[in-house]
């Protein structure tokens, strides 16, 4: 996988033109996404509704691609990467886990298999991708593990119990979220997190200008997200060991401040 480019502004016209010249085969796909963006902006002014519509469109075409995996082999590999990392950092079967943006259980099916029955809780803003998650449960023969899958309208987590989850996980969620959505999550996740628990999330990192592409892909400086977590009484740190893995996104871990 190519090294991360941490300074480029992918929203800049010059970059977009140069990219099109290097990859002319990708231009039709980008134009289709741009047209969809214009249409959905008019129908869904708030971001969660907008991205729910994006997921509906993408899931109809291919649930694996909708969560960022262009084939089943990559879907399995990325799920294994998430799982191995969390287990290596202490995820145990007795833990209770909340996965924010669980998608079609790319990593989730492995977590469900690893955890004790009833200890996995997955939420997503997209009912369509949760239908695909149900298919994954059947495919992987996980019905007896009693996972919970719940659609949500926002990331306030208001229906979940206090101090309940030992591990909260959000893979490739904040990479598709503007700062108000991220802040909504960080303002509320501490309430549902157990005293010794942790919250891992990935994000698209830049060391240059923060920007977004078509309201689908957002790029943030590390210090922006660290400060946002600390604003809400949480301790956050950049996970340098995740950078050693073949994944374009970066990772931050949040815990309760001591």
pLDDT tens by residue, 111-152: 999 999 999 999 999 999 999 999 999 999 999 999 999 999
Instruction: Tell whether 8 is covered by a domain.
Output: no
Instruction: Report pLDDT digits (tens) over 201-228.
Output: 999 999 999 999 988 899 999 999 999 9
- Can you give the pLDDT at residue 2? 57
Q: What span, in angstroms and rounded, lies between the C-alpha atoms of 28 and 197?
A: 45
Does 73 map to a domain? yes
Tell me, what's the pLDDT at 10?
86
In a 3-state reduction of DSSP, which class is residue 160?
coil
pLDDT at position 11:
85
Q: What angle do CA 34, 9, 19 make, to 5 degrees?
A: 60
Q: Which residue has the tokens 């501490």?
A: 190
The three-class DSSP label of residue 53 is helix
In angstroms, rounded to a whole number, what is the distance separating the alpha carbons of residues 167 and 196? 9
pLDDT at 1 over 60: no
Cα-Cα end-to-end distance for the chain: 38
Tell me how far apart the alpha carbons of residues 205 and 188 are, in angstroms, rounded to a whole number. 23
Query: What mean pLDDT is predicted for residues 7-13?
Result: 85
Domain that holds residue 173: 13-256
Q: Would the pLDDT of 3 be above 70? A: no
Percent of the residues in the chain that have a pLDDT greater than 70, as a whole number? 99
Domain contains 143: yes
Predicted pLDDT at 37: 87
The CATH number of whichever domain residue 201 belongs to comes to 3.40.50.150
Number of structural domains the chain divides into: 1
pLDDT value of residue 215: 86
14/10 Cα distance (integer angstroms): 9
pLDDT at residue 138, as a whole number: 97
Residue 18 domain-assigned (yes or no): yes
Q: Is the pLDDT of residue 50 over 90?
A: yes
Please say if the pLDDT value at position 258 is more than 80: no
2 belongs to a structural domain: no
| Greatest mean pLDDT range, 25-29, 45-49, 99-103 | 99-103
Over residues 83-103, the mean pLDDT reads 97
Q: Is residue 7 part of a domain?
A: no
Closest listed residue to residue 136, CA positions, set 126, 123, 149, 154: 149
Q: In the chain, what percentage of residues exceed pLDDT 90?
A: 79
- Spatial separation of the C-alpha atoms in residues 109 and 102, rounded to whole Å: 10
In a domain, 1, yes or no: no
Backbone angles phi, psi at 140, to 5 degrees: -90, 5
Is the per-residue pLDDT at 180 higher than 80?
yes
Residue 12, pLDDT > 90, answer no
> In this structure, is residue 5 part of a structural domain?
no
pLDDT of residue 164: 98
Residue 137 makes CB contacts below 8 A (sequence gap 6+) with 105, 109, 112, 143, 147
**Average pLDDT estimate for 237-241:** 97
């Amino acid at each position: 996988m190519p090294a991360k480019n941490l300074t480029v502004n992918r929203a800049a016209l010059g970059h977009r033109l140069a990219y099109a010249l290097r990859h002319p085969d990708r231009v039709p796909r980008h134009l289709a996404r741009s047209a969809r963006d214009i249409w959905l902006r008019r129908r869904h002014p708030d971001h969660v509704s907008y991205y729910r519509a994006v997921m509906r469109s993408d899931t109809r075409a291919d649930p694996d691609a909708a969560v960022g995996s262009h084939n089943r082999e990559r879907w399995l590999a990325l799920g294994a990467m998430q799982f191995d990392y969390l287990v290596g950092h202490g995820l145990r079967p007795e833990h209770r886990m909340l996965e924010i943006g669980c998608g079609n259980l790319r990593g989730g099916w492995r977590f469900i298999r690893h955890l004790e029955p009833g200890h996995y809780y997955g939420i997503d803003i997209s009912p369509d991708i949760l239908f695909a998650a149900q298919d994954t449960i059947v495919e992987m023969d996980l019905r007896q593990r009693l996972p919970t899958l719940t659609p949500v309208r926002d990331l306030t987590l208001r229906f979940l119990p206090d101090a309940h989850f030992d591990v909260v996980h959000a893979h490739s969620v904040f990479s598709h979220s503007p700062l108000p959505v991220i802040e909504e999550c960080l303002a509320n996740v501490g309430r549902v997190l157990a005293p010794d628990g942790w919250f891992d999330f990935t994000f698209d990192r830049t060391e240059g200008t923060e920007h977004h592409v078509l309201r689908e892909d957002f790029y943030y400086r590390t210090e922006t997200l660290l400060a946002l977590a600390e604003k809400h009484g949480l301790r956050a740190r950049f996970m340098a060991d995740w950078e050693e893995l073949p994944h374009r996104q970066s990772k931050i871990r949040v815990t309760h401040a001591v």
